[in-house]
Structures are given as C-alpha cells and as structure tokens.
Structure 1
Amino acid sequence: MSDNPSPFLGEQADGRSGFPPGIVPPVAPLWPGFLTGQEDAPVRVLLVDDDEFMRRVIAQELLSDLRIQLEGQAGSLRDGRRLLATHEFDVLMVDLRLGDGTGFDLIQEAREQHRTGEIIVISALEDESHVLHAFELGATGYLLKDAWLQSFAQAVLQVVNGGAAITPRLARRLLSRLSHRPDSRTPPSVEPPPREATLTARECEILRFVARGHVTEEIGVKLGISGQTVNAHIKNIYKKLHVHSRAQAVSYAAYSGLI
C-alpha cells in the first residue's frame, strides 16, 4: 500500500488542499449577516419528542450548528408544557405522538403563548389530514422522521428567516397539486375565500418559491425584486386567502385550486 495519503481526503500534512491539480476545494458556505441565526445570537430551540433515540439524533445535529442554541428538551406533553412556561424560544420542534397526549395540543398552546415563535412538526405521520391540521394550528414546518435529504438544523434556520420547512416528498405533493390544478377541496376548518380572491401570476410564482422553502431575500433575488416587495405580495396573499402563515397559504392554495 502506498504511504501517500489519498488525494481525496482533504488537507494533507504539508498543508496542500488534498485535491487533484486544477480542482478547487469547496468553500464553506457563508451565512449572510441579514439572516437570523448568527453565532453571537443563535436561534433558541425547544425540542419535544417522546422517542429518546430520535430526540438524541435531532439534538446532536442542532448542537453541532453554532447558529442554533438548544434551550431545552422534553419527552412528554406535560414536560413540554413546562418548557413553554419557563423558556423563551424562537422555534419549537414537536412530535405529534406524545405518550401522555398529542403534539397538536402543544402547538396550539405554543401559538397562543408565544405568537412570534415558529413551530416545526417532526413526525412519522405523513397523511394529509395530520399535515394540514398542523398547518391550520400555526405550524410553519413539517418534517418526517424517516426522510432522507433533509436537515433539522437547516429547517430551523429556514423558518426563522421567513421560509417554510417541509420534507421534500411532502413539498412535492403540494407542488404537484399547484401544477395540475386539483379539485376544489379545501382544508377542513378553513373558511373559503370569496370568489373574487384570485391570486395574480406574480403571487402564484412567489407561493411556489415559498413551497420550496425559499426565504424572502432568496425569492427577491430570483425574481429581481426587493425583499420588501416580496413581503408585500405575501401580505396580500394572506389577506386574500384568510390565512396567517406561509405554510397555511401553501397548503390552502394547493387544495383549493386557486393556483
């Protein structure tokens, strides 16, 4: 076996990059100063899940990101309520199946007590009724426990910066409905908007970017408009659809056939 290190193992002992000649090593992504979640002001997270193994997995990922501060963990509805009463937070991550109750109750209580906090569901349940109900109660993200190609830390950073964090295969379903104009079924417990509440082409375009998890600044760059203009369009969408969050807007539009 050769004593020389593999050229694909990163930096070598002599300080060279370890990449073949002509190949530029990847640069660590920068976190723009205008986004929430800087190392000197990390995003505060509460985690509630009765699956101890899954809770450790998620906690380990969150703790490895200096932009996030894990304020507290709980494994039951009762202990989750205690966290809500004793901790300030920016993001609540909660499972729907808790040993002594349902995560829906905690979502509703968190939304009532901490109106500015974001809520991400982490669940093994992916049927549409659970997903939609979580959004109706005010969740801004829905992640499946068994899904690949997703990052819990990235989801936290997305929602605090105005995005919606949805597991890719769930987002794909929503996008499919947006593209194929489904029937006029609407999510339960949501008041249908008046017939004149149609979305403009630009509003539809922005909603599709929101469904993909893009934040305001990213949408503005892609469309060549300011972040302030993007937010103005989003406010108009909320008003037209009688919703209060980006996740609600996406799910409602997907099921109502408005776009």
Structure 2
Amino acid sequence: MEIRNESQAASDFLIKNNSVSTSYHLAPHSGLPSMWPGFLTGQAEQPVRVLLIDDDPHMSRVIAHELLADLRINLLGQGGSVREGRRLISQNEFDVMLVDLNLGDGTGFALIEYMKTVRPMAEAIVISAMEDEQHALHAFELGATGYLVKNSWFGNFPQAVLQVVNGGASITPNLARRLLNKFEQPQNNVQTLQENKNKEKLSEREKQVLKLVASGYTSTEIGSRLIISGQTVNTHIKNIYRKLNVRTRAQAVSFAASRGLF
C-alpha cells in the first residue's frame, strides 16, 4: 500500500477541489527550493502567504500545483469569483494575491482596488489570458506589481510571487518589452511635453533607476548595476514618486510609460 504524508494529501485535496474558496493553511509538499538568499523575504521557515483567485479550474490546478511545490510559498486559499475573493481578502492575513481579470461576477480590477483598501501592504499579480498593454497599465495604476499572461508563464508563478514581495515587479517578458517600447515613442501632444518639462522632468539617473524598476529589479540589484548603495536607490525612487505624484513603483512605471518620460 502506498503511504503518503499529511502534507502530500493536503496538497492533493486542494488541487482537486480548487473551486472551494475556504482558506487553507498548508505547507508545500516537495523538495528544497532553488537557491534563495537568506536576506530576502520568503524562506522555508517563513513562507510567503498567497491567495489565488481564478475561475478557470484547469489554470487554478496548474498554479496551485506550482505554488505548493515550493517551500517558500504558503497557499492560504483559493476562490473563483469576486465575492469569494473579497471574503478571502477580508478573512486572511496574506502577502500576495494572484488574480484573474475575468471573473464570473466581476473583474479582477475590482478585487485589486478592494485589496489595496483592506490590505494596503499586500501585493497583487494579475494572471490573464489577455496580453494587452492597456489592461496591464490599468492594473498597475490600481496598485498591481505584476502582470502574467497565462499561456506564456508556466513554471514561474512561485518566482513571480517572490519577486514582487521583495520589491520587484513581475511582467511576462513579451508584454514587458512592449511596455518598455512605449518609453521610446515620441509624444506629439504639446501640452504633455510642456508638463514633462516643467513638472515631471526626471534626471538621467532617475530615468536609469526607473527603467531598471520597470524591468523587475529590486533596490539592491539596481544599486549593484549602477554602483550605488541601495539607500541611494531608494532616495531616487522617492524623488521619482514626488515628481510623478505616485505612491508605488508600478504606478511610477505606468505613469512614465503612458507619458514617454524616458
């Protein structure tokens, strides 16, 4: 007779019953995670707490399986609707929410807004079938820090969670490239150009920092690339927030992309 441990059985139960939105406190079931520096958030002894909201049963199983296979991740619960998502958000202390945009009774945008009201320190990652710049920019404006296109991101959901919880951003590469290309497009609107000159002008160093933020690097990684301290990077980021009148890294990237500030 095959004997399975309690963690494996709990994992199988969650994956097979992903439509149930009751909160779970489960430990992952597989081997050791890949190398992960001890100073970053998300260790086996203190994993990142995650909620998953998606009404696609197959996709939910795929994502749940990947999350449960990583010791650095603790999947607290799953839901398949805005109603279930709101309940999970209000009832759980969590770090990251993975959310689809198209839910049966509403949109993931509504859940991102609600999450930022109830759990302002939590991060949101969109998981969508739509590789669309406007949807991504709107999600970032609402406070999301990641946008993953479902059919091009298999095998990387745990890494995306760990990126955003450590101050980075996680965007499907093809979509990230298209967003970055917007930085190079000339602005023909005279009023926008004048606003950029008088109010929103970034220094060359601030532009360098913001481009690296848009590529998903943390403050420590940006400092290493620019040969400056992480504290100096954070000072530049604060100045960018002030100049662009935004509050998060994702909002700064979205604002700069939409106005061609690079």
Task: Identify the TM-score tier after normalising by the shorter chain.
Answer: 0.7 to 0.9
The Cα shift of 1:34 comes to 1.4
Q: CA separation in 2, counterparts of 1:172 and 1:70?
A: 30
Q: CA separation in 2, counterparts of 1:130 and 1:155?
A: 19
49-58 or 168-177, which deviates more: 168-177
Distance change >3 Å, CA 87–CA 193, structure 1 → 2: farther
Computing the radius of gyration from Cα coordinates, the structure with the larger value is: 1
- Residue 44 of structure 1 aligns to a residue whose secondary structure is strand
143-152 or 71-80, which deviates more: 143-152
Aligned ranges for residues 233-244 of structure 1 at < 5 Å? 233-244=236-247
Gaps of 5+ in 2: 1-32, 190-194
1:249 to 236, 248, 252: 252
2:48 to 43, 49, 56: 43
The Cα shift of 1:254 comes to 1.6
The aligned residue for residue 211 of structure 2 is: 208
Contact 1:182–1:255 at 8 Å: present in 2 too? no
Structure 1 residue identity aligned to 2:91: T
1:182 to 175, 186, 191: 186
The aligned residue for residue 106 of structure 1 is: 111
Give the TM-score, by structure 1 length: 0.82
The aligned residue for residue 8 of structure 2 is: none
Contact 1:43–1:68 at 8 Å: present in 2 too? yes
The Cα shift of 1:212 comes to 1.3
Between structures 1 and 2, the one with greater helix share: 2
Structure 2 residue identity aligned to 1:120: I
Q: CA separation in 1, counterparts of 2:250 and 2:102?
A: 21
- Residue 146 of structure 1 aligns to a residue whose secondary structure is helix
- Residue 247 of structure 2 aligns to a residue whose secondary structure is coil
The aligned residue for residue 224 of structure 1 is: 227
**Deviation sequence 1:39-84 (CA, Å, 0-9, x none):** 1111000000000100110111111111111011111111111101
1:136 to 133, 141, 147: 141
The aligned residue for residue 168 of structure 1 is: 173
Aligned ranges for residues 19-38 of structure 1 at < 5 Å? 30-38=35-43
200-209 or 126-135, which deviates more: 126-135
Percentage of matched positions with identical amino acids: 61
1:124 to 123, 129, 149: 129
Q: Does 1:59 align with 2:64?
A: yes
Give the TM-score, by structure 2 length: 0.81
Q: CA separation in 2, counterparts of 1:252 and 1:150?
A: 30
Q: CA separation in 1, counterparts of 2:252 and 2:241?
A: 7
Q: CA separation in 2, counterparts of 1:107 and 1:31?
A: 28
- Residue 164 of structure 2 aligns to a residue whose secondary structure is helix
- Residue 152 of structure 2 aligns to a residue whose secondary structure is coil
Distance change >3 Å, CA 184–CA 79, structure 1 → 2: farther
Q: CA separation in 1, counterparts of 2:223 and 2:154?
A: 25
Contact 1:39–1:66 at 8 Å: present in 2 too? yes
Structure 2 residue identity aligned to 1:255: S
**Deviation sequence 1:4-37 (CA, Å, 0-9, x none):** xxxxxxxxxxxxxxxxxxxxxxxx8531121111
Contact 1:197–1:240 at 8 Å: present in 2 too? yes
Q: How many residues align?
A: 225
Moved over 4 A (4+): none
Structure 1 residue identity aligned to 2:169: A
Q: CA separation in 1, counterparts of 2:260 and 2:160?
A: 27
